[in-house]
Every structure is written in C-alpha cells, then in structure tokens.
C-alpha cells in the first residue's frame, strides 16, 4: 500500500512540475491523481495510526502547495488547516515513506503548524466540516442533526470516563459505536462512488466523488480521534490498576457474594484482557507495548482473584452450615432438657399425691 501511495505522490510531483515550468494545463489530471492517492490513504487500517497520519499530512501539505501555486487561497487555506491536524506524525517518517516535491512548489513550514491542537476543538471542527456535506446529501435535516448529535454524545461520554472498570468498558463501547456509525456512512458513500464511476454523467459523477471522498476523510478522522481518546482512557485505568494495592477490590467491586455472580464478573473482566483479544490489532480490546504486558498480567490475576473469592465463599458457606447445624443440635438439646424437666415435674406431683 505504501509503495503505491509513494508512486502517486511522485506522479503528482511530476505533473505539478510540468504545469509550473512548462505551463502544461493538466489541472484535471492532477486532481484525479489527488483523488486516487486519497482513496489509497483512506484504505489504511485505522490501527496503523502513524502511517495514516503521516500520509494524511503529506496529502494535505501537497494539495495546499498546489492550490497556493495556482492562486486558490481559499482552497489552500482549507488544506493547510487539515494538514495542521496531522503534522505531529511527521516524526514517524521513515525512508520508505519520504519523498521530495519539486523546489518550485511552496511548502508549509513546520513552524506554521500548531501542534497544540485541543482534542475537543478537533472534534468540533470535524463535525463543522461534515455537517454541510451531510445536509447537502441527505434530504431530511433531522437525520443530519441526529447523526451529529450522536457523534457528539459519543465523545462527551469519552471525556467523562472515570478510572473504573465500568469506565474501561465504556471507552471500548464508545470507540466501537463510533466505528460502527462511521463505517456505515463510509460504506454507503463508497457504494455511491462505485455507482457513479459507471455513470455517463461525468460532471455530476466528479462532484459526487469529491464530496463523498471528503466526507469519508472526515469520518475516518473521527474514527481515529475516538480510537485515540478511548485508548488513552483505557491506558489510564490499566496504569491506575497496576499501581494499586487493592486490585481485587477495584475489579470485583459491588459484586454480590454468590458463586454465579463471581463467575459472571470474572468472565466479563477476562473478556476485556484476554491475550487473544488484546493482541489483535483489529479488535477494540487491543493493547500495545507495556500495556499489553500489564493486560496479560491482569488476565492472570483475574483468574486468581476468582478462585480466591470462590474459596472464601465456600469457607463462609461451610461455616454457616456448621452454625446452622450447631443451632439445630442446640434446639434439640433444649427440647430434651425441657422434656426432662417436665417429666421430673410429673413424677414429683405423683409422689406427692401418693403420700396423702
């Protein structure tokens, strides 16, 4: 995938060079190449955050330079803003993903980019970008409002997550919900693109393709933001739990002390930290580096905690059985004692009658 993207960028570089130096009017060809490379970039898995972010930066930076060279400042400024969101990924650049455009093209200097972009601002900006696109493509405005509201609620939940296991679960659920919502819209747009690629109405098809690809771009960015936010919350909980001396209390908090509920809680906990899940890059439970090791250790501890709680429950039940058995014996003893006293009393009364 990376080599194909690099080839596209090289071809774009050559086309821009011909345009600027030889005055070759090839705008439509350059834009077609930009659409092509954007399609390839959007196929990169969301879990490969660094590669996706790097190529997104290169794409928007290059598009900015091209539009600025052609005096389209409105479009150039838009591309510059988009590039700013991905500039932080340039420190992950490798030899395989480097390429250099012709010196005639005006690049964005790294000091032009604001790296302190607030996450909330990013989310609001993405929603601001997709709302008019959705309104343009969807007939009913209430559908657009519902979609944007749903996305806002997802990120609102993520921002309010606490360092509890329930919070850990909520982070996973929020990311899954955002991915499901975005993927549904992305798939619908890809179907539209495929249908219009076979259409004879070239101008209409080109417009729909541009709009749909832009929407897909924003939706993938929202997926990436949800992944980053959710993963950050999960890392916080794992670090908090790993450093705690009361792990069993945190993990099995408020669990009803029965065999059924202890086993149920252990199954839920285990499903979040199972090594097969946390190593799968396409799974919302995935963990990386030190957090993967800590997650594996937590999975082992959960099994030990479950056995400990079940053993304690068994001892408690056995003790309660002994107490109940002792109480029953004591009642029997009292009954015999009372019966014995009653028998002695009857004998005494009979003896007294016999004397008189």
pLDDT at 25 over 50: yes
pLDDT score at 182: 86
99 pLDDT band (50/70/90 cuts)? very low
pLDDT score at 96: 39
Q: What average pLDDT score do residues 267-288 get?
A: 89
Comparing 48-57, 141-150, 252-261, 345-354, the range with the smallest average pLDDT is 345-354
pLDDT digits (tens, 9 = 90+) for 103-149: 334 443 333 333 333 446 777 777 777 777 776 655 455 667 778 88
Q: What average pLDDT score do residues 269-295 get?
A: 90
| 55 against 350, higher pLDDT | 55
Q: What average pLDDT score do residues 241-258 get?
A: 89
pLDDT score at 251: 92
pLDDT digits (tens, 9 = 90+) for 5-17: 888 888 888 888 7
pLDDT score at 255: 85
pLDDT score at 298: 93
Q: What average pLDDT score do residues 159-184 get?
A: 90
| 282 against 117, higher pLDDT | 282
pLDDT score at 187: 78
pLDDT at 225 over 60: yes
Q: What average pLDDT score do residues 229-235 get?
A: 93
pLDDT at 95 over 50: no
Kindly state the percentage of the chain with pLDDT values over 70. 69
Q: Left, alpha or beta for 66 (phi > 0: left; psi -120 to 50: alpha)?
A: alpha
């Amino acid at each position: 995938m990376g080599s194909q993207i690099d080839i596209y960028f090289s071809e774009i570089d050559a086309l821009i060079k011909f345009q600027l130096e030889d005055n070759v009017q090839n705008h439509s060809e350059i834009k077609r190449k930009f659409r092509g490379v954007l399609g390839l970039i959007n196929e990169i898995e969301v879990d490969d955050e660094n590669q996706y972010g790097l190529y997104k930066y290169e794409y928007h930076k290059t598009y900015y330079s091209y539009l600025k060279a052609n005096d389209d400042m409105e479009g150039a400024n838009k591309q510059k803003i988009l590039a700013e969101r991905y500039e932080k990924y340039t420190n992950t650049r490798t030899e395989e993903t480097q390429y250099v455009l012709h010196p005639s093209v005006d690049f964005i200097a790294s000091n032009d980019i604001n790296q302190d972009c607030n996450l909330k601002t990013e989310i609001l900006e993405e929603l601001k970008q997709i709302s008019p696109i959705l309104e343009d493509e969807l007939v009913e405005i209430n559908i657009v409002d519902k979609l944007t509201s749903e996305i806002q609620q997802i990120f609102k939940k993520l921002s309010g997550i606490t360092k509890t296991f329930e919070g850990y679960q909520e982070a996973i659920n929020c990311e899954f919900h955002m991915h499901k919502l975005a993927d549904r819209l992305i798939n619908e747009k890809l179907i539209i693109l495929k249908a219009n690629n076979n259409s004879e109405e070239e101008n209409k098809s080109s417009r729909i393709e541009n709009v749909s690809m832009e929407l897909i771009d924003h939706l993938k960015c929202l997926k990436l933001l949800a992944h980053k936010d959710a993963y950050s919350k999960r890392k916080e909980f794992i670090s908090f739990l790993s450093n705690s001396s009361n792990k069993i209390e945190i993990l099995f908090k408020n669990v009803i002390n029965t065999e059924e509920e202890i086993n149920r809680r252990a199954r839920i906990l285990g499903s979040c930290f199972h090594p097969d899940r946390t190593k799968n890059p396409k799974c919302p439970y995935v963990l990386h580096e030190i957090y993967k090791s800590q997650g594996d250790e937590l999975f082992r501890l959960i099994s030990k905690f479950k056995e400990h709680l079940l053993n304690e429950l068994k001892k408690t039940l056995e003790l309660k059985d002994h107490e109940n058995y002792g109480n029953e014996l004591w009642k029997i003893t009292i009954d015999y004692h009372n019966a014995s006293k009653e028998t002695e009393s009857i004998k005494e009364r009979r003896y007294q009658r016999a004397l008189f």
